[in-house]
Amino acid sequence: MQRLTLFDLDHTLLDGDSDVLWCDFLIERGLLDRDEFGARNAAMERDYKAGTVSVQAFCDFYVSTLAGRTVSGWAPLREAFLAQVVAPRLWPAGQALVRQHQAAGDLVVLTTATNRIITECTAAHLGIQHLLATECETDAAGVLTGRTAGEPNMRDGKRVRLQAWLAGRGLDLSGMASTLYSDSINDLPLLSAVARPVAVDPDERLAAVAVGRGWPVLSLRSTTSVGAEGLG
């Protein structure tokens, strides 16, 4: 049976939230207004953690920061964001766990609600070939419109998008030895669908679910790598 290993990104492999960090990064460079956008950014992060924000509202809010440029037009800022903000915040233990699963021959996928424009650089940095992320709409000229394209990769959308991606490869989740590492109650639909859900430094609500269902709980918030037990 083929092994499928899924990693959430924000607050799981990464110390922080990519969307929030991206907005702070743009604010520092004067590309977003601090007074107007900072409070909205903080409120969105709070509502996401509480699980009260709608999927479409959350994803549209952050994708809107990309409007008006092409993907290539964002390239210098994307590269700077990865180098200056994201890479230093990736947990070494998490990176070691990714490598362990890859060395074991697993099909490894990074699945995140954050949009592809921000996260594909992170996936490449982690050495993860397969990325499922919220997609961004472009117009006929290739300019980002600030709207999402298709179903956002969030909450049940993560499960739906994964199943569609697997079907495109001639695979089915039910026929795989699947594992998902995630910190968030927002990922409960996909955690409930995989064979081995692992709560990683979970939020309060997910921690309660993990205890109630007997799911393993793992911490990656250290500078040392996890042992082989991380593979399960």
Q: Which residues are catalytic?
A: 8, 10
Q: 125 with 86: CB under 8 angstroms?
A: yes
Rounded Cα gap, residues 99 and 117, in angstroms: 24
Return the C-alpha torsion angle 59, 110, 31, 74, nearest 10.
-110
- Among residues 104, 76, 86, 147, which one has the least CA distance to residue 3? 104
Rounded Cα gap, residues 177 and 196, in angstroms: 8
Helix (H, G, I), strand (E, B) or coil at 178: strand
Phi and psi, residue 136, nearest 5°: -115, 140
